[in-house]
């Protein structure tokens, strides 16, 4: 939904978790992991290695991030992406 009047705030009805819920309903042959923090995501050949806070290491073909760009930057630690990350800005959602 979009805010009334000239406000530019946009969100999902039911909150951002609605996006994850919809992915869980639509996707098959994938594992969606929630409730545990990723510590690092590293490219390993053509795959991704995800290190979780509990010490587990997962190897995957794809990794989808739903987080702020500053958090994604810290997770990925990829110098090649820093120029792109530097173009992104955060601002308060409250005005």
pLDDT at residue number 67: 80
- Domains of the chain, by residue range, sit at 31-86
Instruction: Give the integer Cα–Cα distance in Å for 68 and 76.
Output: 12
Question: What pLDDT score was predicted for residue 32?
Answer: 85
Counting other chains too, the contacts that 11-20 makes at CB distance below 8 Å and 24 or more residues apart are: 16/66, 19/66, 20/66
Of 91, 92, 15, 26, the C-alpha closest to 1 is: 15
Predicted TM-score of the model (pTM):
0.68
Q: What is the pLDDT of residues 7-33, one digit of tens each?
A: 666 677 777 788 888 888 998 888 888
Give 60 or 9, the one with higher predicted confidence.
60
């Amino acid at each position: 939904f979009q805010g009334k009047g000239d406000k530019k705030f946009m969100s999902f009805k039911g909150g951002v978790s609605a996006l994850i819920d919809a992915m869980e309903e639509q996707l098959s042959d994938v594992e969606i992991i929630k409730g545990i923090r990723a510590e690092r995501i590293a490219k390993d050949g053509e795959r991704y290695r995800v290190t979780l806070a509990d010490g587990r290491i997962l190897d995957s073909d794809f990794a989808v991030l739903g987080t702020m760009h500053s958090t994604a930057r810290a997770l990925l630690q990829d110098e090649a992406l820093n120029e792109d990350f530097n173009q992104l800005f955060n601002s308060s959602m409250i005005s």
